[in-house]
Structure 1
Amino acid sequence: MKEQVQGRTCLKHLPLAGVAVACTLAIVSEAHAQSSVTLYGIIDEGVNYTSNVQTSPGNGHNLFNLSSGILSGSRWGLRGVEDVGGGMKAVFVLESGFDVNNGRMGQGSLEFGRQAYVGLATNFGTITLGRQYDPVVDYVHALMPSAMFSGSIGAHPADVDNLNNANRVNNAIKYRTVTLNGWSAEGLYSFGGVPGSVGANQIWSMGVGYSSGPLNIGAGYLNARNPNASFFGTAVGATAASNNFGSSPVINGYASAQTEQIIGAGATYAIGRATLGAIYSNTKFKNLSGTASILNPAGASGTATFNSAELDFQYQLTPALSVGAAYSYTKNSGAHDASYHQGALAANYAVSKRTDFYLISVLQHASGTDSTGHAARASLNGLTPSSSNQQAAVRFAVRHKF
């Protein structure tokens, strides 16, 4: 004779202890089939050389230092899924960034600064709530050379279009469709949280992507009200009165903008061992205050517009060794007229499925007038700005995934 326990079979003729063990294992097996929690992470650590690092106005020196999380942000996270029946699954992600060199939390010292959300997945799509990536990042970031081989230092200056995922979105509801014939789409809305004003500090975004065989395409749009607070101001200690745009002179003079708008699109196409790629973005900082302040040191008014275009090429020399090259051009117009030419070369060697070594070199040249109203200085993303209009960086690092 047999009896059913949690949908599993236990044999009655077994000794009592044997029945208990068999039934316990059956219950655990059933629960495991229905739900799981995965611990994962990446550790990215290496040595950087950076030229012309400004130490005081007009003075620059070469810098050698250890640096964490350039090709991939160092992180650890928990990802869970539970089958709740009726074709529905509960899902969650908690993901924390960190600096290997000092153990400090990343993303402005937030405990789960990379992602923190919970949601429900169905046959009609997935809806999630919390701190999340926006649809522009979800669909275009993966097509960026900075995500594939050139790292954050190879992103567009100051990550002006957020295509390197510098900023996440708080208080967000996101819906993603199921994939149909290679197509999928997303929509996101972030509540501003301002009493009496639904629209203040709100963020909304949408994106679409297509993937089939050798072709991958992604595009998206984001609109952030009062970006100094809603989009950039999520770090611990950030306030509405402080300039939360960071130290890069490429954009930190535009923190008074009432609205930031980003349009981004990209594509990659594989031909044998080679992969060709292209990226375009348009970023606008609208309705600058026109009054000189800590948020607007040059007293800029109107709209500052950045157009960025990038071409890249990758080649898989061997199953373990790949190389890549990229060139990008970013032009600021409207409030100022800075231009940034940037080139990157990279190589990656995988010693196993989880561990690889990489070498990245990036060179940037700037001209015109930047957001601070001064002669444009080179400013590789995430590094201390140059004392001149040129800056170069070279990085050798190891990356381990778990």
Structure 2
Amino acid sequence: MKKTLMVAALTGIFATAAHAQSSVTLYGLLDAGLTYTNNQGGAHNFKESSGSINGSRWGLRGSEDLGGGLKAIFTLEDGFNIANGTLGQNSRMFGRQAYVGLSSNQYGTVTLGRQYDSVVDYLGPLALTGTQYGGTQFAHPFDNDNLDNSFRIDNSIKYQSMNYAGFKFSGLYGFSNDAGGFSNNRAYSFGASYNYGPLNVAAGYMQINNSLTGNVLSNPTNGALGGDSAFIAGLQRTFGAGLNYAFGPATVGFVFTQTKLQDASSITSQQTGGSANTQIGNYARFNNYELNARYNLTPTLVLAGEDTWTDAVIDGQKPSFNSLGLGTYYYLSKRTDVYLQGEYVHAIDLGGVAGIGAPINGVGMSSTPNQLSATIGIQHRF
């Protein structure tokens, strides 16, 4: 009898220990607001908006302890429009992230699936568009450098290093999955960051190779971009670097990025907010220079702002864009905040660039060189 009780007790202890070593977490974020725009395709607009800062989402994140410092991990994350309940990312069930892999506390992490590139991972957090202070509507024109993660990389394998006294690095490769077309419709990127006390510096690079038939992607759904591309171009290269420095309740930063497009055709309608793609000629280039700052007035009230200058080459013309963003964010709790933010974009020297006005990401493009938008909203995390 005593042996039976002892076996039962030990079985319960080991079962509890095994259960404690594995976990699955349900999480999410909801972002809804009311947005006014003075010029959206030629008319003013007052609408209910979803994801003005962060795209609404829910997800599952899990891990299993395999022993010896090794874990199996996975993430499945769905994006959706909270205003109407529809799926985001071209109606994918897990369009934001979907990956599985192994993580070692000695050698780093390897994951496979639909994932963010290294420019998003490393440079994104240094620009206000990649943070909870600004987000979607603070993106650089047309989100040309993808710091707001307008697209992810399908069929990808990613390595993320351990943190070596503040230094981290990562690399990603997205397969075309096309027999006989290994180098077509593929993507690769790499990046690194270093954190030393209040200083954080980072750099990243991304290259996308697409095969085109005329002015459309030859393999729009099965390649590394899976039909999500912000541009229709045979070659896209994006690189950049930035830094943040914190002192007291304030943080200031600077980010530079450059995106070059060759064998190009157009900006996709999802980036312009239009019903059709906007033609940009065979070659385009965007240089983005962002200054940003945020200040904690109190533990629950934050002010943030950014000023971005973008000089471009589009269809032989050399337009520029000046983007200003200001926001205030009040935290009702650790999980819930309300916000008020505004954006203004002024386009300069548009010349003969047809169909291009002043763009605000997530809002659309104006029919004039100026656009102003303001949003009052609420975010809740769980």
Task: Judge same fold: TM > 0.5, yes or no.
Answer: yes
Counterpart residue identity of residue 78, structure 1 = L
Which residue is equivalent to 2:270?
Answer: none
Match of 1:130 among 98, 110, 113: 113
Equivalent residue number for residue 104 of structure 1: 86
Read off the aligned partner of 1:33 and give its amino acid letter: A
Q: Quick one: which of 235, 250, 254 aligns to 1:259?
A: 235
Give per-residue Cα distances to partners, 1:179-221, cap 9 Å, x unaligned: 1010010011111122112111111100001122211111100
Residue-by-residue CA offset, 1:250-282 (whole Å, 9 max, x unaligned): xxxx62x21000002221100111110111100
After superposition, what is the alpha-carbon deviation per residue over 1:132-183, rounded to whole angstroms, capped at 9, x for unaligned?
A: 0011111011111122412211110110100111110000000011110100
How far off is 1:234 after superposition?
5.2
Quick check: 1:52 aligned with 2:34?
no
Alpha-carbon displacement from aligned partner over 1:82-104 (angstroms, at most 9, x marks no partner): 11123211000000011111111
**1:140 matched residue in structure 2:** 123
Change in Cα spacing, 1:226 to 1:138, as seen in structure 2 (3 Å) is same
**Mapped partners of 1:352, 1:129: distance in 2:** 35
In 2, distance between residues paired with 1:314 and 1:153? 16
CA distance in 2, matches of 1:272, 1:87: 36
Q: Who is 1:201 aligned against?
A: 185
Q: Residue in 1 aligned with 2:271? A: none
Contact 1:108 1:234 in 2 (8 A): no
For 1:97-135, what per-residue CA distance to the aligned partner results, in whole angstroms no more than 9, with x for missing partners?
A: 111111111111110000000000111110000000011
Q: Contact 1:369 / 1:375 at 8 angstroms: preserved in 2?
A: no
Identity across aligned pairs (percent)?
42
Do 1:210 and 1:217's aligned partners in 2 also have CA atoms closer than 8 Å? yes
Whole-angstrom distance in 2 between the partners of 1:239 and 1:33: 37
Q: Partner letter of residue 351 of structure 1?
A: L
1:328 partner amino acid: T
Matching residue's letter, 2:354: H
CA distance in 1, matches of 2:65, 2:97: 22
Within 5 Å, which residues of 2 pair with 1:294-333? 298=279, 300-301=281-282, 303-333=283-313
* Residue 121 of structure 1: aligned partner: 103
Aligned residue identity for 1:93: T
> Whole-Å Cα distance in 2 between the matches of residues 33 and 317 of structure 1?
40
Is 1:286 the counterpart of 2:262 in the alignment?
yes
Instruction: Name the CA distance, whole Å, in 2 between partners of 1:268 and 1:227.
Output: 37
* Aligned pair partner of 1:355 in 311, 315, 336: 336
Instruction: Show CA shifts across 1:290-328 (max 9, x none).
Output: 9xxx99875723x31110000011111001101011100
Contact persistence 1:107–1:114 (CA under 8 A): yes
Assess if the C-alpha contact under 8 Å between 2:356 and 2:365 holds in 1: no
Q: Distance in 1 between matches of 2:381 and 2:277?
A: 41
Are the equivalent residues in 1 in contact too, given 2:184–2:211 (CA < 8 A)?
A: no
2:368 corresponds to 1:388: yes
Equivalent residue letter for 1:125: G
Deviates most, 361-370 or 390-399: 361-370
**Unmatched tracts of structure 1, length 5 or more:** 1-11, 55-59, 247-253
Task: Give the 3 Å change call, closer, same or farther, for CA 206–310 of structure 1 in structure 2.
Answer: same
**What amino acid maps onto 1:365 in structure 2?**
H
Matched AA of 2:13 = A
CA–CA distance in 1 between the matches of 2:280 and 2:340? 41
Matched residues in 2 for 1:332 and 1:148: separation?
27
Alignment-derived partner of residue 269 in structure 1:
245
Contact 1:274 1:313 in 2 (8 A): yes
TM-score if structure 1 supplies the norm length? Answer: 0.84
Q: Distance in 2 between matches of 1:15 and 1:195?
A: 60
Superposition deviation, residue 24 in structure 1: 5.5
What's the TM-score, normalizing by structure 2? 0.89
The separation in 1 between residues aligned to 2:10 and 2:60, in whole angstroms, is 29
Asked whether the 8 Å contact 1:188–1:204 carries over to 2, the reply is yes
Alignment of 1:73-222 (within 5 A): 73-122=55-104, 123-146=106-129, 147-222=131-206
Summarize the Cα distance change of 1:83–1:382 in structure 2 as closer, same or farther, 3 Å threshold: same
Residues of 2 paired with 1:116 and 1:138: CA distance?
15
Q: Distance in 2 between matches of 1:298 and 1:382?
A: 19
- TM-aligned CA deviation for residue 32 of structure 1: 2.5
Shift of 1:333: 1.9
Contact persistence 2:279–2:355 (CA under 8 A): no
Q: State the partner residue of 2:272.
A: none
Q: Output the amino acid matched with 2:349.
A: G
Q: CA RMSD in A?
A: 2.7
Matched, 1:67 2:46: no
